[in-house]
Amino acid sequence: MDFAGKVVFITGGSRGLGIALARQFARQGARLALCSRSEEELRTAKEDLASLTDAVLTIPCNVASAAQVEETIAAVLDRFGRIDVIVNNAGIITVGPVQSMTREDFTVAMNTMFWGPVNTTLAALPHLEKTRGTIVNITSIGGKASVPHLIPYCCAKFAAVAFSEGLRAELCCTGVKVVTVVPGLMRTGSHRSAHFKGNAHAEASWFGVAASMPGLAMGADRAARRIVAAAARGQAEVVLGVPAKLLAYFHALCPGAAAETLGLINGMLPHGMQQDAVNWDAATSRSRGIEVLTAMGRKAAKDFLQPGAAA
C-alpha cells in the first residue's frame, strides 16, 4: 500500500510508539487522525507533527468506551471521508507481582488493550471494507509468552493476539489486511507512564533500566519504520527485536522449559504486597543511580512526548 493521501487512524497516538508511528506515516504522505484520553497531549502531538503535515485530526477518546470510539470514527469520516488504516496502539502498563494486583488492574488492562482494539475495529470495519484497508494491532511479546510481574498486561495482550490472528483469517477474502505486531521492549520512554506496585522502587528500577538498554530495547523510530513497512506489505505478523524473537521461538518449541526459565527470572525480581500504584517519579524519587542507568530511556521519553519527561 502506498500511504500517500491515505487516512490513518492511530489510537494512543499522542506519545510513545503512537507519535513515532504518526511521524512515519506523515513522512509517507498520509493524513492522520490521532486519539488519546488527554487533550493536552494531543495538542502537543499536533504541534510536533506540524512540520510534516497539516492534515492532522486529534480527538480525545477513551478506547475502552464503545460509544466514544463510534463518535470518534464518525468524526474521522466527517473530516476525511474515508479510513484506510487503523492502528490499535493504546496501552497501559502496571508492573508488580501478582499478589499486589487487584481485579481492577486486570479489568483496566483488558478494557484498554483488548476491548479497545475490538471497539475500534468493529466501528471502523465497514469503512475499511470499502477501502480494502489495513488493521494494525500492536500486541506484545507478552502476548506470546506471559512474563512475570506484568500479568494483567500479558493477559490483555494474549487476548489481543487471538483477536488479531482470528481477524486476519476471517477477513482474508474481503481485501482487508490484518497485521499483528509483536514488539519486545522498546525505548519509547513508556516506563515514565507506567504504574508500579509491590516494592514500587525496585519494580520501577528493573523495568526502567530494561526499557532503556540498547540491545534489550529497540529504538522507537526503528520499530515504527518496521511497523509501517509491514503495514504497507500487509504482512501477517512482525516480531520486533532479537530478545522477543528468541523468547517467542523458545516458548513455542519448549513451553515447559520457557515457563521454568521465566520462573527463575521471577525469583530475581522484587517482592512486595503494596497494592497502591505509584507513578515513575514517586517510585524512583529521582534516584541519581536510576537516572544514570535510564539515560537513554529518559532521552526517548523527551523525544516521544512522554508527559513530564522534560522535568
Please state the three-class secondary structure of 92-145 as a single string.
Answer: CCEECCHHHCCHHHHHHHHHHHCHHHHHHHHHHHHHHHHHCCEEEEECCHHHCC
Respond yes or no: is residue 249 known to be catalytic: no
Rounded CA-CA distance 304/19 in Å is: 6
- pTM: predicted TM-score of the whole model, two decimal places: 0.96
Q: Would the pLDDT of 311 be above 70?
A: no
Evaluate if residue 127 carries a pLDDT over 70.
yes
Greatest alpha-carbon span in the chain: 55
Residue 183 falls inside a structural domain: yes
**Residue 310 counted as domain residue:** no
Establish how many alpha carbons lie within 13 A of residue 303's alpha carbon, considering only the half-sphere containing its beta carbon: 16
In this prediction, residue 310 carries a pLDDT of 60
Which domain does 86 fall in, by range?
7-303
pLDDT band at 131 (very low <50, low <70, confident <90, very high): very high
Contact 42, 75 (CB under 8 A): no
Q: Which whole number is the average pLDDT over 96-105?
A: 98
Overall residue count recorded for the chain in this entry: 311
* Average pLDDT over every residue of 2-9: 98
Q: Is residue 239 in a domain? A: yes
Q: What is the mean pLDDT of residues 276-289?
A: 89
In a domain, 281, yes or no: yes
Catalytic residue among 9, 25, 80, 153: 153
Q: With cut-offs at 50, 70 and 90, classify the pLDDT of residue 285.
A: confident
pLDDT of 308: 81
% of the chain exceeding 70 in pLDDT:
99
**pLDDT given for residue 233 in this prediction:** 98
Given pLDDT bands bounded at 50, 70 and 90, which one contains residue 287? confident
pLDDT of residue 217: 97
Name the grid cell of 138.
Answer: 500492536
Assigned domain for 82 exists: yes
Question: Is 311 a domain residue?
Answer: no
> Which pLDDT value is given to residue 165?
98
Say which CATH number the domain at 237 has. Answer: 3.40.50.720
Do the domain assignments include residue 231?
Answer: yes
Q: Is residue 56 part of a domain?
A: yes
Work out how many domains the chain is built from and give that number: 1
Quick one: cell of 164?
A: 488479531
Residue 159 has pLDDT above 90, yes or no: yes
Alpha helices in 211-305 (DSSP H): 220-233, 242-253, 255-268, 280-284, 288-293, 295-303
- The phi and psi torsions of 249 (rounded to 5 degrees) equal -65, -45
